[in-house]
Amino acid sequence: MNKLKQIGLTALVGTLASVSAAQAGAVSVGGTMELSWTNLPEHKVTGQQMGRKKNITFSGAGEFSNGWTYGITHVMNDTFTGQSSSSMNLNMGGIFTVAYDSGTGGYGANSVDNVVPTAWEEVDYGFSTGLTDVGAVSKTHGVVNLTMKAPHSGTALSVSYASRVGASAVGDGGSSGDTGGHHGIDAYLDLWNINTKWIGIRTGVAAEKVSHPNNCRDELTDNNQAKLVCYNQKGDAYAGSIYQTLAIGPLSAGFQATYKDPGTAGGIENNTSWVAGLALTIGNALSISCGKGWDEYYYSSPILSTSAQDFDATSDKGQSERIHASFRGCSAAGNWGPLALKFVRNDVDNEGGKHAVGREDRGQEHKEINLSMSF
């Protein structure tokens, strides 16, 4: 009996050892060091124009005995006082991937919020309010994602769910508390996403919905007449986007259009935006790109201005108003191994859908030169 027990224990230990060996992975440390010089309009520049960015990323990966793989990523914030984002994923045979994401925004609709090719940064980079896009759900902390990809064709469906949209990162055993009591779901569908040496094409759609349990639609179903006046949330928020990119040799182009309804009572009724751009790769090191974006803010009532001529010409008899924010920009980049030198020049009119009252509102500009080294 003792011999049988010993044989059984030996076999069990051997089995556990083999499982551990199959699951063992490696952890690597990487990061970047960036030095930037930023030039803003004269009325904006105050103090130091030189800036520095320092990132450290811990990455781990491994493979199970059945062939499934896993990966983890932890990114430290710029001041090294804690973690800025984290994610973990399980890939099941190259077709299904299940992931938990806390702030990286690399999954779901947020990963296709703007797929227009650029040499470095997008046309709305450097401004406090950029183009309207999708991804409010999948860029929050605490997102669960399922992605399914078909082999060869690049056809893919990615769905993300967050129980509390806008929540901050939560440690194990904790909860975010009440962040407004709304949950959200978003998704993107790549009809095809093909990349070869000489040609590439990607066509897809994305959508999101953020549910608000306390909104006008729910209140109006009650018999309480005091609730018939809605002050805050009119209904659920939702958005949709379509995108198309095409690459032929060194030249690539893209277009994306987005519609978003925040569901608020008063203020912004909806946004309609589009962005388009061209990029050219020269050899293995240099690339340049230019693009343009347009964002229409549709308000439920006119936005007050200090001057009558500042009202948008498309105002609807004072009952509603449309204000257009327009973006333009070009960027360039040179990459030599771990060293990269990059430049961007962007400008915007009517940023954030606001009236152009003075010169500080009529047009904003952002110029930046960036030197980065990765390790």
**Which range, of 33-37, 210-214, 327-331, averages the lowest pLDDT?**
210-214
For residues 116 and 169, the model is more confident at 116
pLDDT at 229: 55
CA distance 351 to 123: 13
What mean pLDDT comes out for the span 173-202?
A: 85
Q: Give the predicted TM-score (pTM) of the model.
A: 0.82
pLDDT at 88: 94
How does DSSP classify residue 5? Answer: H
pLDDT at 59: 92
Q: How many helices (H) and strands (E) does the chain have?
A: 3, 16
Rounded to 5 degrees, what are φ and ψ at 143?
-105, 135
pLDDT at 222: 52
What mean pLDDT comes out for the span 21-34?
A: 75
Helix (H) or strand (E) holding 330: strand 321-336
**Which range, of 39-43, 329-333, 370-374, averages the lowest pLDDT?**
39-43
Give tens-digit pLDDT for 3-20: 434 434 344 344 434 444
Report the candidate in 148, 160, 240, 239 with the shortest Cα–Cα distance to residue 193.
148
Pair type for strands 237-248 and 83-92: unpaired
Are 113 and 134 in contact by the 8 Å Cβ rule? The answer is: yes
CA distance 233 to 217: 9
Report the candidate in 282, 284, 353 with the shortest Cα–Cα distance to residue 321.
353
**Which range, of 12-16, 82-86, 364-368, averages the lowest pLDDT?**
12-16
Helix (H) or strand (E) holding 316: none
Length of the chain in terms of residues written: 375
Position 1 pLDDT exceeds 50: no
pLDDT at 318: 45
What mean pLDDT comes out for the span 244-266?
A: 94
Position 72 pLDDT exceeds 70: yes
What mean pLDDT comes out for the span 271-281?
A: 97
Token code pair at residue 341: 């030198």
Average pLDDT, the chain: 82
CA distance 147 to 78: 30
Work out the percent of the chain whose per-residue pLDDT is above 90.
51
pLDDT at 220: 55
Q: Residue 176, exposed/middle/buried by CB under 10 A (0-12, 13-18, 19+)?
A: middle
CA distance 312 to 333: 37
Banded pLDDT at 281 (limits 50, 70, 90): very high
How does DSSP classify residue 169? Answer: P
Give tens-digit pLDDT for 285-312: 999 999 999 999 999 876 544 333 444 4
**Which range, of 137-141, 175-179, 213-217, 302-306, averages the lowest pLDDT?**
302-306
How does DSSP classify residue 216? Answer: H
What mean pLDDT comes out for the span 25-41?
A: 85
CA distance 325 to 350: 5
Show the domains of the chain with their CATH numbers.
26-374 (2.40.160.10)
Are 145 and 159 in contact by the 8 Å Cβ rule? The answer is: yes
**Which range, of 103-112, 211-220, 250-259, 340-349, averages the lowest pLDDT?**
211-220
